[in-house]
Amino acid sequence: MLSGLDHLVVTVTDMGRAVDFYSRVLGLDVRYRDAQRVDLMLGDTALRLHQTDTDIAPISATPTPGSLDLCLRCQLPLDEFKQHLDALAIEVELGPVARQGASGPIESLYLRDPDGNLLEICRPAAR
């Protein structure tokens, strides 16, 4: 029936600040759909940004900035990604730590975006 995820909506308080974070810190490609909608590309999947004070319909019943808990796969070794975050003065809350991902053991580190959303950055664990 279902085959994958097309996009996930991230509710933000400041579109410019969110675009800067996700593009500069996480390296996502930005696609502007219109003045109120921005897609941040993860391969063929998008994180779609919606700002809280815009009239986009339909939306979730209670769109709330900072309520997202998202795990993103990383191509770099996590030590290298952490060095990148350190160079940008982005605080890592936890990690790298061992976790269980959708496809097996992973190694993860955790940080927050400007709205307080929890972002887990992961890589398959060394075997």
Q: Are strands 29-34 and 37-42 parallel, antiparallel or unpaired?
A: antiparallel
Check if 93 is active-site: no
Marked catalytic residue, from 80, 91, 107, 120: 120
Q: CA torsion, points 11, 14, 19, 25, in degrees to nearest 10? A: -100
Strand order in the sheet with 69-73: 69-73, 118-124, 104-112, 94-101
**Spatial strand order in the sheet of 29-34:** 7-12, 45-51, 37-42, 29-34
Question: What is the Cα–Cα distance from 15 to 34, expressed in whole angstroms?
Answer: 12
What residues are labeled active site?
A: 120
